[in-house]
Structure 1
């Protein structure tokens, strides 16, 4: 592909990184880093997310939930974002946002119910997440939903932020670009967080978009875009805090491109070994976020092996309690698959519901007769 002489090969955008892969500082650190309690809380949440993620994959492999989208290697992005959102803000997530949801108070068993095909998984109990949207599986449509939410905030004069997330592949969709356009034109209080994990299913970043960066797509819409190391918790927390404050105080939207790597499969229905090399994945493991923050904490004298093992045991117990709660939730009646399709039921759906109820009744009658 030839480039127009009017198009520069690179666009100078801010890129933030504080820690190298071993957790060693590369620059002067923000003042808030002096709070060890905050750092440990962020680290704990990343570990918890990873252990829950491992359990969810195991549950899918044994047929106890449906297809699941792992977050392996991308935990820092969601944890940083979830820790900075206020209860009055609204999250409009995509399907790889387990870490954010856990930080927002969504219960693990609710997430398992969702991936198990149970609508109760989107009826969040915690008030902090009650207005959050459910995970969006269609690609990029959630970006427009977030602009609708942010428009309501602006019309009402509320100091609230709509936060929406997506993967790198979603930034090539018309929905995403239209969302950027309206956010910039109306100067909406919305933060776009792009998890650039380098793969849109089997399509690598270098093929699915010719732009030097994804963050620069905000420029055409008239607002700020920047890159941040998605494996560096300190950089993520710092830049997301600034982006949230900017949107909250009427200074318009922000797009953050977080550079990470999807260490696992796209979903449990995928086999990433068919399209990427073991050497590439091995190199990515050297950059991953949990090891990086762990190294920093250890270098600061905040963390050691004893604390690590105690944390793992505590998190595993928490995950197991959630699995038990999920298992004890029971099943919903068959007709519930139709209950959340329309706000006002059309006649055809009402007829289908009656047919379903009659079929279930017949099956139940046959089963009861076979036991007599």
Structure 2
């Protein structure tokens, strides 16, 4: 990983680099707090899925740096477009964690979705790569209005094989939109290794076809992610066009709770990567700087766990939405006649009694995290 932009070393043979201009001690602690909150949400969600309290879940254990550091570099007016892997990124912009949990439980409407315009956060995108043109369109619209708004879309290495990726890259380059293409290259697209995904050695070099600058960063380093994103956003605002960022890391955990990576890869290869995971690495870095000691870090972890525990309680207090939630919010207002007929037909069909989730009503913080979660 010697060719990657890296700020945080390992406290041994890999030295720390100077902190980028624009980041103070308070910023560093704030980024760490975001990392911890994302981790607490992720681990809790895995436990909830194992208990049957939410549906199949896409975990991101170890990839928090690509989210927290990246988002911290943007302005509140910038738009972000997450994939399913960044499913909880909205909570860093004020979306209640209970809303995202309700989304994973299968709820929709006002209780399981958020106002994308208010939070400047696009919908959680499960289809691969389809949100990239949305990010380009948003930044292009801002440019036409004379605004300095940038947009950023996260996606994985697998999405680079989709037509949407290339179309979005081409459009953004031609019209010089302030779009940041942030690829979290964790080297696995479910069971497909990156070596079978592309002939190029890196994702970054794909930018050459679109006359677009690109940078490779250590995807386990939140400060490196911040630096690359900040530079890309500043450049885009000044009319310099889009940037491709490749955050090189490794998918330490499973693709999702329905996946068993032992079926297609040697998990012994995963072990060395765990030493680079961002939370402990960032905590050690802050301790070396004298910015945050172990007791301070533990306090932040306790606060994050409490926040997510309260969110679980809030989620389980939500009344199950009615069938109309399937048809609401598809159009800006009202329902077309075929939706009205569809809802009436659905209501006429006998419904099974709702299955009560396992451990429903149990304390929100009662579970240990299954080993599969990491």
In the alignment, the residues of structure 2 paired with residue 49 and residue 224 of structure 1 have an alpha-carbon distance, to the nearest angstrom, of 29
How many positions carry a matched residue from both structures? Answer: 349
Q: Are 1:253 and 2:242 matched, yes or no?
A: yes
Structure 2 counterpart of 1:135, from 113, 120, 124: 124
Stretch of structure 1 that moved more, 212-221 or 347-356: 347-356
What's 1:60 paired with? 49
Question: Aligned pair in 2 of structure 1 residues 152, 31: CA closer, same or farther (>3 Å)?
Answer: closer
- Is contact 2:9–2:17 with CA below 8 Å preserved after alignment? no
The structure 2 residue matched to 1:191, chosen from 147, 167, 180, is 180
CA contact 2:111–2:318 (8 Å) conserved in 1: no
2:71–2:226: 8 Å Cα contact kept in structure 1? no
In 2, Cα distance between equivalents of 1:48 and 1:239: 22
Rounded Cα–Cα distance in structure 2 between residues aligned with 1:57 and 1:237: 27
Question: What does residue 4 of structure 2 align with?
Answer: 15
Partner of 1:156: 145
Deviates more, 1:63-72 or 1:100-109: 100-109
SS at match of 2:89: helix
Offset at 1:66? 1.1
Residue equivalent to 2:107: 118
Counterpart-to-counterpart distance in 2, 1:22 and 1:275: 33
Q: Which residue of 2 aligns with 1:368?
A: none
Q: Please give the alpha-carbon distance, in whole angstroms, between the structure 2 residues aligned to 1:59 and 1:53.
A: 10
Q: CA deviation digits over 1:107-166, x for unaligned, max 9?
A: 21111011111123564269751x421111000111111111122111111110111110
Distance 1:186 1:159, change over 3 A: same
CA distance in 2, matches of 1:257, 1:57: 27
Which of residues 221, 236, 239 in structure 1 aligns to 2:210? 221
Task: Name the structure 1 match of 2:59.
Answer: 70
Q: Could you give the per-residue CA deviations for residues 70-112 of structure 1, whole angstroms, max 9, x where no partner exists?
A: 1100001100122122222111211111453222222211110
Larger of the two Rg values belongs to structure:
1
Q: What residue number does 1:30 align with?
A: 20
Say whether residues 1:144 and 2:133 are aligned partners: yes
Equivalent position to 1:200, from 173, 189, 205: 189
* Contact persistence 1:160–1:189 (CA under 8 A): yes
Distance 2:115 2:167 in 1: 33
- For 1:166 and 1:100, locate their aligned partners in 2 and report how far apart those are by CA, in whole Å: 13
Which of 85, 97, 100 matches 2:89?
Answer: 100
Residues 97 and 308 in structure 2, CA contact (< 8 A), matched pair in contact too: yes
CA distance in 2, matches of 1:235, 1:315: 24
Is the partner of 1:243 in helix, strand or coil? Answer: helix
Distance 2:96 2:115 in 1: 8
Is 1:294–2:292 an aligned residue pair? Answer: no
Conserved? CA contact 2:215–2:228, under 8 Å? no
Q: Secondary structure at the match of 2:80?
A: strand
Retained in 2: the 8 A contact 1:52–1:319?
yes
- How far the C-alpha of 1:340 sits from its partner, in A, is 3.6
- In structure 2, the partner of 1:79 is 68
Which stretch has the larger CA shift, 173-182 or 16-25? 16-25
SS in 1 for 2:214: strand
* CA shift for structure 1 position 341: 3.9
Q: C-alpha deviations, 1:231-289, integer Å up to 9, x for none?
A: 11221111111111111222100110001221111111111121122211111101111
Superposed, 1:226-305 pairs within 5 Å as: 226-305=215-294
Distance 1:81 1:164 in 2: 11
Structure 1 residue 342: Cα displacement: 4.7
Structure 2 regions of 5+ residues with no counterpart? 354-374
> Could you tell me how far 1:323 is from its partner in structure 2?
0.7
Give the secondary structure class of the aligned counterpart of 2:315.
Answer: helix
Superposed displacement of residue 55, structure 1 = 0.6
RMSD of aligned residue pairs (Cα, Å): 2.2
Which whole-Å CA distance do the structure 2 matches of 1:173 and 1:213 have between them?
A: 16
